[in-house]
A and B are shown apart, each in its own frame.
Chain A
Amino acid sequence: MTDLRIHRHPILKYVRGNPLKFYFEGEERTGYENETIGAALYATGLKEFSHSFKLDRPRGIFCAIGQCASCRMRVNGVPNVRTCITPLEEGMTVERQFGAGEKPTNTEVRKTFKKELEADIAIVGGGPAGLSAAIYAAKFGARVVLVDRFPKLGGQLIKQTHKFFGSRKHDAGVRGIDIAERLIKQVEENPNIMVLSEAEAFGYYEPATIAVAGKDTIYRINAKKIIMATGAAEKALLFENNDLPGVYGAGAAQTLMNTYGVKPGDEIIMVGAGNVGVIVTYQLLQAGVKVKMIVEAMPKIGAYFVHAAKVRRMGVPILTRHSILRAYGENQVEGATIVQLDDNWQPIPGTEKDVEVDGIAISVGLRPTYGLLDQAGVKIQFVPELGGHVALRNRNLETSVKNIYVAGDIAGIEEASTAIMEGRIAGLSAVIDMGLAGDDAKELRESVRAELTELRAGPFGARIRQGLEKVEVL
């Protein structure tokens, strides 16, 4: 059987737990503790996870972090389980769904009971923004409940194996995974912070209640303040067969290889030469994946020069003014047709070229995940500079709905270091506005704000600054 697990890696050591037997459509397979069902199946060579429910088109893992619906399968008799975020267990039965799922056959009750939690602050999202908000709020004695739908805390940081840019003060030279370690440790050791993992916030209710679906329990968190730090989702790109299994977000490729030690493919093409596309390309090479080329529709490369130069040195051509026209293959990607673009972004006939690959990674940017904010009635505006729909807010990151704050990518697509600063500001603002902290917290907030301003200074921050002018209006 195919084995896509990475066994040697220059930076990462994968801690695989005990082997677990499970059954895929009756056939015995092996995965490991700490893997999700999706990662374990992918490692054994499965690409076609489901079929879409209206048109019955084959679908595979696209986001790998529970934000889309393409990896849904029937698990232990329950339909529509997102296998990319559901941990593997011994003896599980996993089946594909063709079209919509059949009704459940499993009536086994785990402990589906309801639990009320009282908290000063509920934080949704355990990435750099949410973790930092928790740490800074807890510093001032706030009782915090932090929820995340993923089995592991750290958000997108846990797959960032590269060293960060910027000044020493902001963790330049430190790898994202190490920053995540540090934040997670501080959160887990803090007696004021309660963490719920594999717990998905599904609704906001007045006055400041968050409803959360945990593994076995529905929680009702009655808070005084809520910080939304749900991050971003990868944008999709429009092209023929863009839903074919083997087309996935660059972030999904990163999650598979860096979080689970599973190669997304053997030979792939990367679409998009921004920072994410180029950095993930480098990481793919580290994991032993051949990246045949990067195509980029813009006339120039968006990524930092040093990164781009590095992957080029390693033999990956970057084709600017090129895009992908279609994916092809029967039930999974067998290749991509690329094409050159003219000055009006139109394909130039006759320049089409087929590239044989088993994967197409898309990195055309991220968009804020504003669903919960919208449901809560927060005023939202589309701001291209910030990556999409974001909440209007004041300088302290409080939105138009009193007691709801935002921090990190949900507030505008930036990066981990700014997410950390925003998390701190939101956490501090919540304790200040609640009357739990006074002048010392205000002073601290001012100094964090100064650091954040510094991070956004210079030409790279110009677009962000323009975007913020449109939303920091309350």
Chain B
Amino acid sequence: MKDRAELVIIGGGVSGLGTAYQLAKRGFTDIVVIERDYFGSGATGRCGGGIRQQFSEEYNIILARESVRMFEKMSDELGQDIGFRQGGYLILAHTEKEAEDLRRNVRLQNSLDVPSMYMEPEEALEIVPELNIEGLSAAAYCPTDGVAQPFLVIKGYVDNLRKMGVELMDHTEVLDIKVENGEIRKVITDKGDIETRMVLNAAGAWSRNIAKMVGVELPNKPYRHEIMATEHMKPWLKPMVISFHNGVYFSQSHDGEIVGGIGDPNEPSSYNIKSSLEFLERFTSVVVRYIPIMRKVKVMRQWAGLYDVTPDARPILGPVDELPGFIQAHGYSGHGFMIHPMVTKLLAEYIIDGKTSIDIEPLNLRRYTSGETIQEKNVVG
């Protein structure tokens, strides 16, 4: 292990590895990435792999749109098939209010070059003929949304980073960070110390614990989110189907399983990632209500992961005022996989150039003290 590096990245999910990759691509390779468990063991390897541009808030739409453009090229760029499939996202609305929200969002998305469309429930049948449209008020569809396989993305990053000479340490835990005279000096791990002046905090739901090591308080809270996968079938379900009405989402992965989950408004904040039978019951009954033939599809696996949730459901990116050199890359609030390509590219720009092609200032931690927050409403789960 190196005992000195220009940058230490804490966390081996898409946020940490993605930033390392974007930096290395531009020649910045004096990096050590530290992951406590295996790469992708956090939220990344447990996520649904959904990639959506249909947000309610301009900034998120732009991040997602740019990310989709990067996902489209990712398999070629990494030399690794990432299982990217653009079957679109079909959003289902139940009430008039939800229909109105969809209409407004589609207008905003279209103004930002995202080709989403508003439709009547009957039109949604053209995209998913198996859908039961009873009780639906409207739908929205964006054909360039899609899914990718998180573990294949992780593998692509890991293989490329190793080739590029970036040091990757898995099964290594960061225990402490030493600060002297208002500057980072050292990252202390269970495998030894690394001298550095710069740390990227990309520890997902554990980022607040990392921040505590240097006396920074983060507003993030961890919430369990459960998810499951069915048996494999030949492709039949084209889009990711979601509804903000009940927080459900499900899609068919490129190797044929239906993968999906549902949020639980009563879930308390905790680090619990055990699976529950209640989730299976709730999720399957909602899915069957939308797609009756799902009644005959067998459940194969279930698991859970943590959403790393901020008060406005938007990520926290960039430096903190108290400690320059301590850079944040977390708080993705359940949609970090889909926006990570652009986010990590911007972080790399910030680290190398000191400025970014899209302003990341609105996502600085500072917004919670200055009171300048905008809520993202389109959060699933």
Contacts and interface: CB of A to CB of B under 8 A. Distances in A.
Contacts of A79: 231, 233
A103 B236 contact: yes
Is the interface on chain B under 10, 10 to 19, 20 to 34, or 35 or more residues?
20 to 34
A102 B236 contact: yes
Nearest to B298: A80
A99 B232 CA distance: 10
Contacts, number: 57
B293 A53 contact: no
A408 B294 CA distance: 37
Nearest to A210: B277
B231 A80 contact: yes
Contacts of A101: 231-234
A304 interface: no
B278 to A, nearest CB: 9
B236 to A, nearest CB: 4
| Overall SS of chain B's interface | mixed
A205 B236 contact: no
Interface in B208-252: 231-234, 236-237
Interface string B249-276: 0000000100000000000000000111
Interface string B105-134: 000000000000000000000000010000
Nearest to A106: B296
Interface string B279-306: 0110000000000110111110010000
B100 to A, nearest CB: 32
A100 B130 contact: no
Interface string B179-198: 00000000000000000000
Interface stretch (A20-28, A107-115, A430-438): A107-115
Contacts of B232: 53, 80, 100-101
A105 interface: yes
A104 interface: yes
A220 interface: yes
Contacts of A211: 277, 280
A87 interface: no
A68 to B, nearest CB: 14
Interface of B: 130, 231-234, 236-237, 256, 274-277, 280-281, 292-293, 295-299, 302
10 contacts: A53-B256, A79-B233, A80-B232, A100-B234, A101-B232, A101-B233, A101-B234, A102-B234, A202-B299, A220-B277
Given A78-B296, A80-B233, A211-B280, 11 more contacts: A99-B234, A100-B232, A101-B231, A101-B233, A103-B234, A103-B293, A104-B297, A106-B293, A106-B296, A107-B296, A109-B295
Which 4 A-B pairs have CB atoms at the shortest separation, nearest pair first? A104-B296, A103-B236, A107-B292, A100-B232
